[in-house]
Amino acid sequence: MASNHLTGIGSESKQLATWYFTFAAILFGAQLLFGLVAAIQYVMPGFLFEILDFSVARMIHINALVVWMVFAMFGAVYWLLPDETGIETIGIKVGKLLYWVFVAAIVVVVLVYIFVQVGPADETSIWFIHEGREYIEAPRWADFGIVVVALGFVANLFMTGMKGKRSGIVTVLMADMIAFAGLYLTGMFFTDNITVDQYWWWWVIHLWVEATWEVYVGALAAYGLITMIGAHRKVVEMWLWIEVAMLFGSGILGMGHHYFWIGTPEYWWEIGALFSALEPLPLVAMFIHVLYDWGKTQGAQDATGQKLSVINNKPAFTWFVLNAFGNFLGAGIWGFFHTLPQVNLYTHGTQFTSAHGHLAFFGAYATILIGMMYIAVQGVNGIKVMKSTRSSVWATWMIAGGVMGMTVALTIAGYVQVLVSRAQMGATWAGYFDGQSGLWFAQAMDWRLIMGVVTFTGFLFLAKDLLSIGKSPIHER
Ligand code: HEM
Ligand code: HEM
Ligand SMILES: [Fe+2]
């Protein structure tokens, strides 16, 4: 019988990882469905009016996005921890309990969003309904629950890292996860001053996606390259340290690009412009890093003509390579486009922002986390070499192609807004509407919807593939 990861050392940790991945995949599907509702509402404004309003569909779309990624990120750590430390994760029983606390909290929060869509906003609504903070709307009671879950997770990571072998990957993760969890606290207090409120809110959003999450992805890429193509640990870990230093450097002050127009002092223009413009550099380094390791595997043979290194998990590796491209394009290129204050003055808050938001979140995070789900499927089923199935290929093309298509459509819509609403009509009330009633804008919204349907269809292939690829007979075991 094939050996699998659910019997050896670390089997408990890996089982918990698969739970995390499963709920993440379900939430990913939900995210896309609510995104589709919001996209239909752009084209047909009356769609589901007073049943599921745009504001609520949009809120669930982007909060589900953040939450599924956090679930998958916790899952990936629980997956790689036994491999990197050589021991079972410590505190795994508590970890499993906290998992259910987390799931229950999220389900209740979403149900409340759906059932209480309109009403007065006061102190109680912050505690029980939502906080009105884009991306991290969880009401305060759930905030505290999330903090407890995150502390439990970080404690398990630390205890295991201290006791077992401590690789560079684990050390980076330990430091990074403390920062990741700690930053959540900055989005938990409320002030009456909107500028102060936004100031701290950006600490969560920007310092997550442009600092702590990027470092996390570096660690994950290092682990993935070692497990999938046998990359040399020394090489990937050296790159990892360089990227960590660069990311923290540029990411922290790069936050200035969100302080341009929210009432903070003007010196943020210069700081934001300089450091955010540097942000793509570590992303380029990561990109080169992955391609370099990948290139080294091509055609290498030993004396007998045997291939030296094989890619032992084709679908996962495909998603990891997409991550290198996607991170570079979505965060690096699409981010750089509008990061200088001179440009941002015109593009701020147009569909341009949305184009960047979609490609960056997808390219930098969705891709590599989907790749990790494939690594888990391989491990659970004890498969030595996992090849792509027809569904793997359809899923990859339709999801990646669909998101790229949406990004192009949104970029065109953004240009219309920049030219008509901002440049031509001078950001007036009339200009705002003129920008959105032109033919180009309307067609772009149609295309976004079409490409959204393509993306969702790709997701269905992905779900089928993840559920069935471990059982298909074409895999060498
Ligand atoms: C993976 C990393 C990144 C992710 C996930 C990401 C995601 C996002 C999202 C979702 C927003 C919209 C926030 C809102 O609702 O207001 C945003 C805004 C922005 N991002 Fe990024 N971003 C990333 C990296 C970058 C980088 C590297 C740059 C610069 C080189 C950048 C530049 C900007 C700018 C200038 C804005 C403000 C847009 C506006 O004025 O409306 N981003 N980002
Ligand atoms: C079925 C596919 C999808 C559709 C139809 C869709 C649709 C939408 C719509 C209509 C909005 C609201 C835009 C607005 O307020 O003007 C939105 C926002 C957003 N979506 Fe999606 N989406 C999809 C998939 C995704 C994916 C795969 C990601 C990332 C992994 C994503 C990330 C975001 C983000 C970050 C925002 C906020 C953007 C901002 O305010 O700047 N979406 N999406
Ligand atoms: Fe940012």
CATH code of the domain covering residue 82: 1.20.210.10
* Angle at 451 (CA atoms; ends 202, 459), nearest 5 degrees: 80
- Ligand 2 centre and the CA of 420: distance in Å? 23
Which ligand 2 atom is nearest residue 36's CA? Answer: 5
Q: Which of the listed residues 55, 56, 61 should we mutate to test ligand 2's pocket, taking the one with most ligand atoms within 8 A of CB?
A: 61
Please answer whether residues 470 and 418 qualify as being in contact, where contact means their C-beta atoms are separated by less than 8 angstroms.
Answer: no
**Tokens 């998101």 found at:** 403
| Residues composing the chain | 477
Who lines ligand 1 at CB under 6 A? 134, 209-210, 257-258, 276, 279-280, 331-332, 335-336, 338-339, 344, 348-349, 353, 356-357, 360-361, 364
Could you give the CA distance from residue 319 to residue 322 in angstroms, rounded to a whole number? 5
Q: Is residue 63 part of a domain?
A: yes
Ligand closest in space to the Cα of 362: 2
* Terminal-residue alpha carbon distance, the chain: 10
Question: How far is residue 80 from each of residues 11, 65, 184, 212, 439, measured CA to CA in Å?
Answer: 11, 23, 24, 18, 50
CA dihedral 97, 99, 101, 106 (to 10 degrees): -170
* Angle at 458 (CA atoms; ends 454, 463), nearest 5 degrees: 150
The SS3 call for residue 313 is strand
* Angle at 88 (CA atoms; ends 85, 94), nearest 5 degrees: 120
Q: Which of the listed residues 36, 208, 358 should we mutate to test ligand 2's pocket, taking the one with most ligand atoms within 8 A of CB?
A: 358
Neighbours of 181 (CB within 10 A): 18
Task: Specify which residues 385 forms β-bridges with.
Answer: 476
Ligand closest in space to the Cα of 55: 2
What residues contact 403, with CB distance under 8 A and at least 6 apart?
358, 359, 362, 363, 451, 455
- Ligand 2 centre and the CA of 300: distance in Å? 42
Q: Is residue 345 part of a domain?
A: no
For the chain, how many helices (H) and strands (E)? 19, 0
Could you give the CA distance from residue 203 to residue 252 in angstroms, rounded to a whole number? 9
What residues contact 423, with CB distance under 8 A and at least 6 apart?
346
Ligand closest in space to the Cα of 37: 2
Please answer whether residues 352 and 338 qualify as being in contact, where contact means their C-beta atoms are separated by less than 8 angstroms.
Answer: yes
Mean pLDDT, the chain cut into blocks of 10 residues (477 residues total): 63 96 98 98 96 96 98 98 96 97 97 93 91 93 95 97 94 95 91 92 95 94 89 83 84 95 95 92 80 68 62 94 93 96 96 98 98 96 92 98 98 97 94 93 98 98 96 58
Q: Is residue 456 part of a domain?
A: no
Q: Is residue 263 part of a domain?
A: no
Please answer whether residues 227 and 378 qualify as being in contact, where contact means their C-beta atoms are separated by less than 8 angstroms.
Answer: no
The SS3 call for residue 57 is helix
- Ligand 1 centre and the CA of 463: distance in Å? 29
**Encoded tokens for 369:** 């986390």
Ligand closest in space to the Cα of 58: 2
Task: Specify which residues 442 forms β-bridges with.
Answer: none
Ligand closest in space to the Cα of 338: 1
Domain carrying residue 123:
1-166
Ligand closest in space to the Cα of 451: 2
**Encoded tokens for 94:** 């508590």
Who lines ligand 2 at CB under 6 A? 32, 35-36, 38-39, 42, 58, 61-62, 65, 353-354, 357-358, 361-362, 366, 403, 452, 455-456
Residue 339, H or E segment: none
- Ligand 1 centre and the CA of 290: distance in Å? 23
Please answer whether residues 281 and 246 qualify as being in contact, where contact means their C-beta atoms are separated by less than 8 angstroms.
Answer: yes
Q: Is residue 154 part of a domain?
A: yes
Q: In total, how many domains does the chain have? A: 1
pLDDT at residue number 9: 86
Could you give the CA distance from residue 186 to residue 171 in angstroms, rounded to a whole number? 24
3-state SS, 388-413, equals CCHHHHHHHHHHHHHHHHHHHHHHHH
- Ligand 3 centre and the CA of 343: distance in Å? 15
Ligand closest in space to the Cα of 436: 2
- Ligand 2 centre and the CA of 238: distance in Å? 35
- Ligand 3 centre and the CA of 342: distance in Å? 16
- Ligand 1 centre and the CA of 356: distance in Å? 6
pLDDT at residue number 3: 45
Phi, psi for 385 (deg, rounded to 5): -125, 120
pLDDT at residue number 2: 41
Which ligand 1 atom is nearest residue 349's CA? Answer: 41
> For ligand 2, atom 21, which residue shows the shortest CA distance?
35
pLDDT at residue number 137: 94
Could you give the CA distance from residue 451 to residue 472 in angstroms, rounded to a whole number? 30
Q: Is residue 146 part of a domain?
A: yes
**Near ion ligand 3, which residues have CB within 5 Å?**
206, 210
Q: Is residue 21 part of a domain?
A: yes
Q: Is residue 139 part of a domain?
A: yes
Which ligand 1 atom is nearest residue 338's CA? Answer: 35
pLDDT at residue number 267: 96
Could you give the CA distance from residue 314 to residue 237 in angstroms, rounded to a whole number? 23
> For ligand 2, atom 43, which residue shows the shortest CA distance?
35
- Ligand 1 centre and the CA of 14: distance in Å? 33
Task: Specify which residues 184 forms β-bridges with.
Answer: none
In this prediction the pTM is: 0.96
- Ligand 2 centre and the CA of 330: distance in Å? 14
Which ligand 1 atom is nearest residue 258's CA? Answer: 37
> For ligand 2, atom 27, which residue shows the shortest CA distance?
362
Burial class (CB in 10 A: 0-12, 13-18, 19+), 235: middle
**Tokens 């008509």 found at:** 420
Question: How far is residue 189 from each of residues 41, 152, 211, 248, 349, measured CA to CA in Å?
Answer: 33, 22, 22, 24, 25
- Ligand 2 centre and the CA of 396: distance in Å? 19
